[in-house]
Amino acid sequence: MRTASPRPRYQDSRKPAQRGIVGARSRSRRPRSCTRGDAGADLGASPLPNHRQAGHLRPAPPPLAPNTRAAPPSTGGRARSREAGPCNQWAARAEWKGLSDPRDVTKLARGAVRFRPRPPLASSPPTRHCAANRKTGSAPARTFGRGRVAARRSRGAEWAGRGRGASLRGVVPACVEGAPGSAAAASSSRRSGFFPGVPGIPVRSSSLPLFSDAMPGPTQLFFPLIRNCELSRIYGTACYCHHKHLCCSSPYLPQSRLRYTSHPAYATFCRPKDNWWQYTQGRRYASTPQKFYLTPPQVNSILKANEYSFKVPEFDGKNVSSVLGFDSNQLPANAPIEDRRSAATCLQTRGMLLGVFDGHAGCACSQAVSERLFYYIAVSLLPHETLLEIENAVESGRALLPILQWHKHPNDYFSKEASKLYFNSLRTYWQELIDLNTGESTDIDVKEALINAFKRLDNDISLEAQVGDPNSFLNYLVLRVAFSGATACVAHVDGVDLHVANTGDSRAMLGVQEEDGSWSAVTLSNDHNAQNERELERLKLEHPKNEAKSVVKQDRLLGLLMPFRAFGDVKFKWSIDLQKRVIESGPDQLNDNEYTKFIPPNYYTPPYLTAEPEVTYHRLRPQDKFLVLATDGLWETMHRQDVVRIVGEYLTGMHHQQPIAVGGYKVTLGQMHGLLTERRAKMSSVFEDQNAATHLIRHAVGNNEFGAVDHERLSKMLSLPEELARMYRDDITIIVVQFNSHVVGAYQNQE
């Protein structure tokens, strides 16, 4: 699926398009060149036909919230969209706005009132896991099993009706059809005691400072189907989430907008973001179309919000580490972002650990892995004596040896609540390592240590969820972690020894500068997905022959999951019995959730999924200048060769890339001056970023056909409402590690 760039990104960069619609990608929906000057209009309006089509073809889910019931014929699509997730954000936000506004409280679900007293966090962007989700989500979850089948059945029809005209024709009937069913389901969902379950669940949202750090989105577990693309990721056949995103774009249809806006509830409903609001107004009073391009400083502030740089400190002008430092950055597409990143220096052994983690079905698992994995690795690397020393210190209450020096962006948080639990698991691990030690001190094999650490952590995640915790909050947390999933790509750099441990479809790419100054990419990890023949082979070998066809379907594990290896995701690991047992004994929220109860089809011989990493070893050479670790959000928008070239040119500055040499040519001062002035103009754009990862994101999001950053496009992409962002890109997380060629060269010379 990875294609070389440049390419029409609006089509290809869409994760849903790539992942969700296996083989059924919708027609290119590249926005018309934006002469109308309204990014929202272009980006939002163009995919519309599909939305309607989706509404038309998919089985009618129940309407969910009171306000949707108020306009039954037209809200069918919207209601369904909530089921799918992405579009309900507006509803969600509308309700959140209500939360912060006492006058609107009446409109809220009872459960939401609970959170009202907590002041909203002004600084963080509004998130969409909220009362609306809780209110509405359970119904679609319940109907899901049915819906999936229906959707699959209707797929052919959808292909046929992809065209704009077809969708237009389809829209109205769909809504009409959808209405009665929706209403019924909605009422049933309320009857089924949904609300009583809700208040106990803390919900992550920007309005909840208390939980905003600790509780990244229980809804992701609770109603994973609501989450925008997880649905498509897991149940590829079920629906097309980008369509559902667009359920919300119905306001752009003149007739529907009119209808909705006439309804007071809807007025709040479709005001998720100021610029949207502006837009709709602008369209309504067509005489004053308003532009909302982001200015370059605004673009920069968005791009730089999560950037982090670490420079290995110099001592007396010398940096003896083979790592000069690293730049990292994230650009969310999900809200909240499901990617995580970590970087730390091992204090008791040499070496530096860097990793990116791509979560799915919520960010609980990626969060937990990002906090815990490096400790497991560091402990696995520790010599026996150090382990003993640490254990003795714990035993006697002395101060512990620090193991890791973290290098964190302020937004990279650790959950304090689970810290004790995590520590105990870790301690059990090292105690076992101590017990297992045979006495003979052997050199620790990094590869083995990495594999052990990965497997052990996944095992612990699984065990913690099975055992549970007396603290109901923690109990719920460990379940969320276990039922969500995360891929991991971790690099361990120690001198010239570079190990990359990869589980899933993030990638590590080495930037190599050839002698002529050009850049080439060396892949240091293999993707664990359907594009990898060896993985397909492995899966087939691990399961009986009669499952050969069902184990990977539509390029997905059991037809559901794109990565073939991952942390968490116990739904693909536990036996059916175990799953049922845990869910039954689990908290009500879990028990009520159709998703968690849902057993993947053709689930005969678990486990189908493993967290065991594939470890690649590379001995650094002086020409190896940097390593890019990134989640698939980057790799699906940019070709690896371009990634390496852009970072390489950025790190060395343009001139090193293509140094001007007079050589034997006849060049006059005037010609040279003209050339240099031109180059400087180009370079000034390069140095806009102080962070290589930011620079890469700028290119990934804003590159035009010619591989140059197009501010207009960048501005449009970044001004997408977060609900739509997910259609055009996945979360992007990048770490660029720069190597110290002098030190690497010195290592080489020593031998």
| Footprint on this chain of another protein (rule: CB under 8 A) | 314, 316-318, 653-655, 659-662, 666-670, 672-673, 675-677, 679-680, 683, 742
Give kind and range of the element (H or E) at residue 326: strand 323-331
Q: Beta partners for 735?
A: 328, 629
Cβ 692 to another protein shortest distance, Å:
19
Q: How far is the CB of 675 from another protein (least distance, A)?
A: 8
* Residues 218-227 as b or e (16 or more Cβ within 10 Å = b): bbbbbbbbbb
Nearer to another protein, 153 or 673 (CB): 673
Count of CB atoms within 10 A of residue 674's CB?
11
The DSSP line for 403-451 is -EEE---TT----STTHHHHHHHHHHHHHHHHHH--SS--PPPHHHHHH
Number of Cβ within 10 Å of residue 621's Cβ equals: 16
Angle between helices 72-84 and 131-160 (to 10 degrees): 100
Least distance in Å: CB of 345 to another protein?
20
Question: Judged by CB, which is closer to another protein: 399, or 661?
Answer: 661
Residue 689 one-letter amino acid: D
Long-range contacts of 598-602 (CB under 8 A, 24+ apart): 598/144, 598/145, 598/571, 599/571, 600/558, 600/559, 600/560, 600/571, 600/572, 601/550, 601/558, 601/559, 602/547, 602/550, 602/551, 602/558, 602/559
**In the complex, least distance from residue 272 CB atom to another protein, rounded to whole angstroms:** 44
CA-closest candidate to residue 518, choices 658, 707, 687: 658
Q: Which residues pair with 557 in a beta bridge?
A: 552, 561
Indicate the residue among 314 and 537 with the shorter CB distance to another protein.
314
* Minimum distance from residue 704 beta carbon to another protein (Å): 25
Least spacing, CB of residue 649 vs another protein, in Å: 13
Euclidean distance between CA atoms 116 and 124, whole angstroms = 17
How many Å apart are CA 568 and CA 457, to the nearest integer?
9
Q: Residue 165 or 317: which CB sits closer to another protein?
A: 317
Nearer CB in complex with another protein: 439/670? 670
CB atoms within 10 A of CB 21: 24
- Residue 706 beta carbon to another protein: minimum distance, rounded to whole angstroms: 22
Nearer to another protein, 122 or 681 (CB): 681
Residue 609 CA: distances (Å) to CA of 230, 327, 371, 465: 17, 32, 22, 17
Three-state secondary structure call for residue 738 = strand
Of 400 and 675, which has the nearer Cβ to another protein? Answer: 675
CA distance readout (Å), 9 to 13, 246, 300, 329, 729: 5, 18, 21, 21, 9
Shorter beta-carbon distance to another protein: residue 36 or 680:
680
Instruction: Give the Cα separation of 214 and 262 in Å (integer).
Output: 40
**Minimal distance, residue 620 CB to another protein, in Å:** 18
Q: For the CB of residue 635, give the shortest distance to another protein in the complex, in Å.
A: 31
- Which lies closer to another protein via its Cβ, residue 165 or residue 659? 659
What is the phi/psi pair of residue 29, to 5°? -120, 45
Question: To which residue do tokens 């594999």 refer?
Answer: 451
Separation CA 213–CA 413 (nearest Å): 7
146 or 656, CB closer to another protein?
A: 656
> C-beta of 741: minimal distance to another protein in Å?
11
Q: Which is nearer to another protein, 118 or 655 (CB)?
A: 655
Is 200 or 745 the residue whose CB approaches another protein more closely?
Answer: 745
Closest of 292, 325, 291, 322 to residue 310, by C-alpha: 325
- Going along 524-645, which residue ranges are E strands? 552-553, 556-557, 567-568, 614-619, 624-630
End-to-end CA distance of the chain: 42
Judged by beta carbon, residue 443 or residue 515, the one nearer another protein is 515
Helical packing angle, 692-702 and 296-304, nearest 10°? 120
Smallest separation, CB 498 to another protein (Å): 22
> Least separation, in Å, of the C-beta of 666 and another protein?
6
Q: Closer to another protein by CB, 639 or 655: give it.
A: 655
Nearer Cβ to another protein (8/653): 653
> Least distance in Å: CB of 669 to another protein?
5
Shortest approach of another protein to residue 461 CB, angstroms?
44
* 87 in Cβ contact with 245 (< 8 Å): yes
Q: Cβ 313 to another protein, closest distance in Å?
A: 10
